[in-house]
Amino acid sequence: MAPRILSALAFAATATAFPGSGSSFNATALFGPHVSSGTLIAAFSDPGFASVVGPRWSTWEAPTYVAAIKPATVSDIQQIVKIAGQHQIPFLATNAGHGAATGYGDVQNALNINLAHFNSVSIDVAASRMTVGGGTKFGDVFDPLFAVGKELQTGNTWCVGVMGATLGGGIGAFQGLHGLVIDSLESVEMVTASGALVKASKTVNSDLFWALRGAGTNFGIVTEATFEVHDYTNSGRVVLGQFSFPPAANVSVYSAVASFDRYIPPELALFVSATFNRTAGESRVNVAVIYFGPVADAQPFLDKFDALGPLAKVVRNLTTPDLFGKVLSTGVCNDGGRQNPYHVGLGRTDVATFSKFFGEFDTFAKAHPSYAAVVVAQRYSNVVMGQTPDTATAYPWRDIKTYLLFSNTYTNNSIEGDVDVASKSWRAMFEATSGFSTPHMYVNYDHGDEGPAAKYGARKLAKLRVLKQIWDPHHLFGTPNPLY
């Protein structure tokens, strides 16, 4: 490690010659003497900055950094937070870099704390427990769990940070069977705003643990987390049916999806997406049927969509690491695109709204050749997650049935204004027929303009703000998705 730090320190340089505060500071001078030799530090202008700063998925509303630091030990993180706090240097700890919302653009002239060194995974098979570092990605746990016959409800792609997703709740195809990711979180160790290393669980700092499960990025940096893991379902094999339908089938497809509003089996997850096929020159409605069980049990659900006349169909029998790590990650894990997401949580599938949206999406895509969005509705059973009382965690929206995400991407930035206008109108249209009287927004899917009540729940905010006063009174954390 020593040679790496020497070269890192050697190329570290900043705009000013002395440690400072706010928008200009010399990170090497300020932090270097207080961190271990494995820590890398670089100013933005240094040639080695790119290897120290954390990766970033979306170029839209990206944070701006004066410097980056990649700590090697927990005590390094404690020192960094303490010193940054003392000097009023804004910072953002990042891991896989998939956070995308206007709030990330609010992080300006900051210090990036790259958590990549905290990527440990250890599994206690007999106790059904897994402990991961604060810098792990979901892809780090798929294979180790499968190898010992276990599973955890994760997000759906390998490239997303475990803690970034978990601290907002954590959704994914396994949630019908196992609930939100937070529902399996047992304890964490974290660095709080004072620089202290604290534990939080149902019995230790239980209020903090409550807040972490839904609003967690406002309270500190998790260095390590322990989850309860489950024996794998169907020996770790899952059925995936992928169907692609012509535009004219939109109403029949959405109606089939709506037939699951009252009941969807916990083993079943549906992804229903709108895309525009540039080769064919028309839109597609696509359905992915994911079934955690034998092919024979999945068959009725495959048949239901097969009967609607798909243009293309592929049915596979896969391991869950292949489902999440390969198939569902294809195309979405590439960094560097302009990704400007919008989202709304739904309590029902309003076929007329979906169909109206699809028509407008088709028109919009035809008029904007660089628009390459995937608008996907993820439908999961919320029976198991509903067994955890609303009061048990900060996460406010256990009643969401369908997470609708407008994954907007485009290469021509001049269409951004049009994308925003269209997306806001679609979001409002879905909100109006969502079955909810107030906006329900999964915080990790936000655009950034929804406000704290939509992301955290009005009824949760008072307690969250009291806890914020206790644990982070000077608001060192939480700029991307603040409680205020």
Ligand X SMILES: Cc1cc2nc3c(=O)[nH]c(=O)nc-3n(C[C@H](O)[C@H](O)[C@H](O)COP(=O)(O)OP(=O)(O)OC[C@H]3O[C@@H](n4cnc5c(N)ncnc54)[C@H](O)[C@@H]3O)c2cc1C
Binding site for ligand X (CB under 6 A): 54, 57, 92-100, 115, 134, 155-157, 160-161, 163-165, 167-168, 170-172, 217, 221-222, 332, 444, 480
Q: 96 is in the binding site of which of ligand X, ligand NAG, none (Cβ under 5 to 8 A by kind)?
A: ligand X
Helices (H), 53-157: 74-86, 102-105, 139-147
**In angstroms, rounded to a whole number, what is the distance separating the alpha carbons of residues 315 and 289?**
9
DSSP string, 174-201: THHHH--GGGGEEEEEEE-TTS-EEEEE
- Rank residues 198 and 251 by Cβ distance to ligand NAG and give the closer one: 251
In the range 412-431, which residues lie near ligand NAG by CB under 6 A? 412, 414-415
- Rank residues 145 and 249 by Cβ distance to ligand X and give the closer one: 145
In the range 207-246, which residues lie near ligand NAG by CB under 6 A? 237, 244
Q: 94 is in the binding site of which of ligand NAG, ligand X, none (Cβ under 5 to 8 A by kind)?
A: ligand X
* Burial class for 86, CB neighbours closer than 10 Å (0-12, 13-18, 19+): exposed
295 lies in the binding site for ligand NAG (CB under 6 A): yes
To the nearest whole angstrom, how small is the minimum distance from the Cβ of residue 359 to ligand NAG? 4
**In angstroms, rounded to a whole number, what is the distance separating the alpha carbons of residues 95 and 55?**
7
CB distance 117 to 38 below 8 Å: yes
3-state helix, strand and coil shares in percent for the chain, rounded to the nearest 5: 35, 25, 40
Buried b (16+ CB within 10 A) or exposed e, 165-193: bbbbbbbbbbbbbbbbbbbbbebbbbbbb
Nearest residue to ligand NAG, scored by beta-carbon proximity = 247
Neighbouring-strand partners of residue 96: none
279 lies in the binding site for ligand NAG (CB under 6 A): yes
CB distance 76 to 39 below 8 Å: yes
Q: 165 is in the binding site of which of ligand NAG, ligand X, none (Cβ under 5 to 8 A by kind)?
A: ligand X
In this structure, the chain runs to a length of: 484
To the nearest whole angstrom, how small is the minimum distance from the Cβ of residue 17 to ligand NAG? 4
Question: What mask, x for binding ligand NAG by CB under 6 A, covers residues 90 to 119?
Answer: ------------------------------
- Rank residues 289 and 415 by Cβ distance to ligand NAG and give the closer one: 415
Kindly indicate which of the ranges 165-173, 278-286, 428-436, 473-481 contains the residues binding ligand NAG, using the contact rule CB under 6 A.
278-286
User: Where on the chain is the footprint of ligand NAG (CB under 6 A)?
Assistant: 13-14, 17, 26, 28-29, 237, 244, 247-248, 250-251, 277, 279-280, 283, 295, 317, 355, 358-359, 362, 412, 414-415
